[in-house]
Structure 1
């Protein structure tokens, strides 16, 4: 199958430069770009009349199985029911322009395979399986009165509890056995967990290092949920590759990001949406009261990291009915960053983190033909990306899918 986009304005997010050219897709890849390209027999031709083309967007922190903000209650749902919700959630992400996503706990190889085989509409799905959590950590969904932890075998659960060096090694190896693209670890307290504090650190340094060792042995990496500077810095010192959230990081954190060549994945939009709509979408009241501890600090942390030269990656972390706000992260980041830098976070920087440089997040020849055709210039107005209504076409693997 071949697709030719004529008279496009191609935006290279790596350089910020526009090129007036045609772009041809064949066999799911970008075959060639340049002026006046010929159309082989059977090629679908679309005249864009100067519309902007950017690479398909990448969201590096999603939860495609999180059909409710009540993550503890999610574990009791039928696996088939969760899968049906996940298919709907993933289809919505694709329509919003996200052609690749990294799931930060919950999704498994079944959903990834189903998408790759065309059984469900959605972005390419890179998964970690279940996040590793200590007892009473951010991935432990038990209320105080519950003694037994049910490591539910289906895709509905987001976390698995493992304590001690031997246990975390075994848990990491098990997720890698099931095909995890990365390992997720809970290195601090969180909003949606019932029994921990936001300002707690979680896992010993020995446990964190053991998890990193296992991931590196499999040529994979570790992503760590962490809010406070203390938690962020411990995770970076242990060798974690990406910090998720990081709302309360400090200047030492910035130094450690640079020293360890690590990435920060802020998720500003989730706190805004949890504050406004969380309870309506199932977030328990005690968790809703935790939101204020991180809501106001996120933008300042993003600015501190950006000024310090930390590599930033796009993430949304939305739950339940709040997934529809996924693109609003562009607008929030635009308060402290230039539009090109925000676009890079959702393209070239994200591709680097995911280990797919040259494959996604670029319009280069040979890359996956995942593209967006936009009505407007995203470098002049981030609202073009923040409002999916400006997306004229979503192209995935060289086919118009939305």
Structure 2
């Protein structure tokens, strides 16, 4: 049964133009926006079958599109927990729960480019079949890695699949894995172009050569499948763009040469500042190594300036939060990416909104049909109690999103989702959190059971 909805009296930010329109009505019928303004009012006039939403004093805008999520990850504190303490069945059920939380946060579409097992594709299909409630999904499979691994270093096995990654060894193997993933339903192929090598000091290094990257792109594009690359330095960004990758995550420390390659090849960028911002702003509260905080800040500032320059040069820049880790839990931080684009890349609030709506519809393969409040577009709409053009942070304020409509259907955002408890064996168990030296064991500290020590306090005691 379809529902006709009239949203009345709100200020419409359509996601396309630069000017909001006050006191504008939006008519939704059969999952599609059919009319705006006076035409919407005229079509709804006198009808008794129209469900009306009064939005006076509020903002009506497209549902957000988060182009970098990890719904199957389950908010792990580290890769050991993610790779070795989960089962496929439990992870699938957890992903279904996460999908509901994302939708309630006003995110009506996501690109989930890599996943545990093949859960992303299965979750997408379950949502489309109305088995699970969640956002529209563009889904990837396992991220492609070389034997050198990615951000998990030596935790990645030399062969086969580990967690969210599959290791490929040669050009033929690359093509075979791309074809296998397309066969099983992926919308995107993801490549971990950079990674951490334990024997190499410093940040991530490029672990794919040009021929290997080109092989991924050729195999995927032959099957009409786009490619996204994880690139945490400038050289990787440059070579991924030159290889023809469609989208680049992070683009960390992008220099002018890399930007020229991005522009020349029509590559889009998704900087994913939220994870870095959360680590810098709140890392001390969650036990992040203090020595890393200034590293995160520097990457934000340098990359932010480069992303701003890319935007001014006409590069498509879209929003993605990298939600799914302990530092970016599901349903909590999606809208912060818009704040970060304003703060670090010099976007206006309207530009940031477009980066999370009409500009990002492309990753869903619905460019021009999604991410906009306009006749003929999919009826994915949110109503916000506040004005994000005056304060972009309102989108992340608890309770500010008062309505979420996906495909023309109002989503229940008031009934609580029960808090998740721990599953036995899911978390890494420690025999000790620091070495039990004799001096520590025999020290007359008289610690009460209720005392909680910081990492620094534990270190000081261990050295006593």
Q: Deviations over 1:297-328 (max 9, x none)?
A: 33233233233332110011133342222222
Q: For residues 284 and 211 of structure 1, what CA distance do their matches in structure 2 show? A: 36
Partner of 2:12: 10
Change in CA separation of 1:136 and 1:282 when aligned onto 2, cut-off 3 Å: farther
1:324-363 aligned at under 5 Å gives the runs 324-335=332-343, 336-363=346-373
Q: Deviations over 1:342-369 (max 9, x none)?
A: 1111011111243211221111222111
Residues 217 and 243, structure 2, Cα contact 8 Å, conserved in 1: yes
Q: For residues 299 and 390 of structure 1, what CA distance do their matches in structure 2 show? A: 27
Partner of 1:222: 227
Partner of 1:126: 138
Change in CA separation of 1:235 and 1:147 when aligned onto 2, cut-off 3 Å: closer
Change in CA separation of 1:194 and 1:317 when aligned onto 2, cut-off 3 Å: farther
Q: Deviations over 1:36-65 (max 9, x none)?
A: 234344321122225221111001011111
Larger Rg: 2
Q: Paired residue for 2:106, among 89, 97, 107?
A: 97
Q: For residues 161 and 288 of structure 1, what CA distance do their matches in structure 2 show? A: 31
Change in CA separation of 1:73 and 1:280 when aligned onto 2, cut-off 3 Å: farther
Q: For residues 296 and 124 of structure 2, what CA distance do their matches in structure 1 show? A: 31
Which is further off, 367-376 or 319-328?
319-328
Partner of 2:82: 74
1:267-306 aligned at under 5 Å gives the runs 267-275=272-280, 294-306=299-311
Q: Paired residue for 2:186, among 180, 190, 196?
A: 180
Partner of 1:21: 24
Which is further off, 247-256 or 274-283?
274-283
Change in CA separation of 1:297 and 1:90 when aligned onto 2, cut-off 3 Å: farther
RMSD: 2.7
Residues 189 and 201, structure 1, Cα contact 8 Å, conserved in 2: yes
Unaligned runs of 5+ in 2: 414-464
Residues 370 and 397, structure 1, Cα contact 8 Å, conserved in 2: yes
Q: For residues 141 and 189 of structure 1, what CA distance do their matches in structure 2 show? A: 7
Partner of 1:168: 174
Q: 3-state SS of the aligned residue for 2:195?
A: coil
Q: Paired residue for 2:36, among 29, 33, 58?
A: 33
Q: For residues 281 and 104 of structure 1, what CA distance do their matches in structure 2 show? A: 27
Q: For residues 157 and 13 of structure 2, what CA distance do their matches in structure 1 show? A: 54
Q: How far did 1:394 drift?
A: 0.9
Q: How far did 1:14 drift?
A: 1.6
Partner of 1:246: 251
Q: 3-state SS of the aligned residue for 1:6?
A: strand
Q: 3-state SS of the aligned residue for 2:11?
A: strand
Q: For residues 216 and 313 of structure 2, what CA distance do their matches in structure 1 show? A: 28
Between Structure 1 and Structure 2, the one with more strand by share is: 1
Q: For residues 124 and 31 of structure 2, what CA distance do their matches in structure 1 show? A: 18
- Aligned residue pairs total 394
Q: How far did 1:75 drift?
A: 2.6
Q: Paired residue for 1:136, among 148, 169, 182?
A: 148
Question: Structure 1-normalised TM-score?
Answer: 0.89
Question: Structure 2-normalised TM-score?
Answer: 0.78
Q: For residues 81 and 296 of structure 2, what CA distance do their matches in structure 1 show? A: 19
1:181-220 aligned at under 5 Å gives the runs 181-189=187-195, 198-220=203-225
Residues 142 and 149, structure 1, Cα contact 8 Å, conserved in 2: no
